[in-house]
A = this chain, B = another copy of it.
Amino acid sequence: MASFALSRRTVMASAGALAAAAVLDLPAGIVAAQAQDAPVSHNPGFYRYKVGDITVTALNDGFGKRPLEGFIRNAELADVEKALEAAYLPSDALSISYTTLALQIGDRLVLIDTGNGDSGAPTSGVWMNNFKAAGFRPEDVSTVIVSHFHGDHINGFRLKDGTAVFPNAEVMVPAAEWAFWMDDAKMNAAPEAARNAFATVRRVFGPVAKDVKQFEADKELVPGVTAIAAPGHTPGHTVFAITSGEGRLMALSDTTNHPALFVRNPDWTAIFDMDGPQATATRRKLLDMAAAEKMQVAFYHAPFPATGHIAKAGDGFELVPVQWSSAI
């Protein structure tokens, strides 16, 4: 039987955690906090699966917490709490996670969205560590495709100090999104609290404005990735059909925020949905299609690895997560 003195065990555990941190390139702060309390590092948040010949890597960027009060425009707080309890989630606050996609398509490495970079909540910002743990390097990225211009999707493209994170990547954005957010008249007409979102877009894309490729819906952006207009959440919000051989994945971006709330209750509208009724119509249309065609889907804000299938359930739907596989 093993018997370690506490002090020795703690030292060993700390050393193990630090070694693991070095290996996995985890943020030092996280490791230090864990080392006090015995071991240890967490699993790096990447998960790979195939869509035909395309290798998809889901890359987690941590989470942010927000109070429930005021989050859903058209539901009673008690009903929101009930929905979270039904999903066995805490009902005092909502934990919203972030998961981007990296697609290996032939010799290209294509990102869909980029996470929070160094601009998000303290519990986010782990994307780059996960990206590196997955074996990628920023200079390998050939294309960044953007679903829409909210900060949690675009801040990873440029650090606060102005550094471009993916030096060799072309960037492709929805034309309708560009038109809206780069319009000075719209920025000036926006309420004070909303103006920061316009500033973020300018900070991130301003330095490469002349090189940004704007795309229309129904265009194939890179082989196997087709843009589909999904307006409502933002004016140019876009989802993506990813196809290869028999494989098909619908990357549903922010068609819903947390599935326990908005896949289950597709008529609920989050305050992040700029046009509530249009967002709801888009959501119902896409979820209906995914359910009818039994497509695999991915959501930016679903629990990691953020992919599964949509089943009809009552007046709404539910997300059935994929079975995690140790083989790709």
Chain B residues lying within 8 Å of A325, measured Cβ to Cβ, are 63, 95, 97
Q: Is there an interface contact between B140 and A12, defined as CB atoms closer than 8 Å?
A: yes
Chain B residues lying within 8 Å of A16, measured Cβ to Cβ, are 135-137
Q: Is there an interface contact between A40 and B304, defined as CB atoms closer than 8 Å?
A: no
Chain B residues lying within 8 Å of A139, measured Cβ to Cβ, are 2
Tell me the number of copies of this protein.
2
Shortest CB–CB separation between residue A49 and chain B, in angstroms? 10
Q: Is there an interface contact between B142 and A45, defined as CB atoms closer than 8 Å?
A: no
**C-alpha gap A3/B222 in the complex (Å):** 13
Q: Mark A277-306, 1 if CB is under 8 A from B, else 0.
A: 000000000000000001000000001110
Q: Is there an interface contact between B324 and A107, defined as CB atoms closer than 8 Å?
A: no
Q: Mark A1-45, 1 if CB is under 8 A from B, else 0.
A: 111111001101100110110011000000000100111111111
**C-alpha gap A305/B170 in the complex (Å):** 37
Check: A321 CB closer than 8 A to any chain B CB: yes
Q: Is there an interface contact between B43 and A123, defined as CB atoms closer than 8 Å?
A: no
Chain B residues lying within 8 Å of A88, measured Cβ to Cβ, are 294, 308-309, 311, 320, 322
Number of A interface residues in the complex (CB < 8 A): 75
With contacts A6-B106, A6-B107, A88-B320 taken as known, whether A43 is within 8 angstroms of B39 at the C-beta atoms is no
**C-alpha gap A325/B61 in the complex (Å):** 10
Q: Is there an interface contact between A97 and B324, defined as CB atoms closer than 8 Å?
A: yes
Check: A116 CB closer than 8 A to any chain B CB: no
**C-alpha gap A41/B104 in the complex (Å):** 13
Q: Is there an interface contact between A104 and B39, defined as CB atoms closer than 8 Å?
A: yes
Q: CB within 8 A of A326: which of B6, B97, B308?
A: B97
Q: Is there an interface contact between B168 and A19, defined as CB atoms closer than 8 Å?
A: no
Most chain B beta-carbon neighbours within 10 Å: one of A13, A107, A308, A321: A107
Q: CB within 8 A of A2: which of B24, B46, B89, B142?
A: B142
**C-alpha gap A188/B42 in the complex (Å):** 47
**C-alpha gap A291/B308 in the complex (Å):** 24
Check: A274 CB closer than 8 A to any chain B CB: no
Query: Which residues of chain A in 126-179 are interfacial with respect to chain B, using CB atoms and an 8 Å cutoff?
Result: 126, 133-137, 139-143, 168-170
Most chain B beta-carbon neighbours within 10 Å: one of A39, A140, A169, A324: A324
Check: A248 CB closer than 8 A to any chain B CB: no
Contacts beyond the supplied A3-B142, A95-B323: 6 A-B pairs with Cβ under 8 Å? A17-B135, A34-B328, A40-B48, A40-B135, A86-B311, A126-B326
* 16 intermolecular pairs with C-beta atoms under 8 Å apart: A1-B143, A2-B109, A2-B141, A4-B140, A6-B107, A20-B135, A38-B55, A39-B135, A40-B134, A40-B328, A41-B134, A63-B325, A88-B308, A88-B309, A123-B326, A303-B324
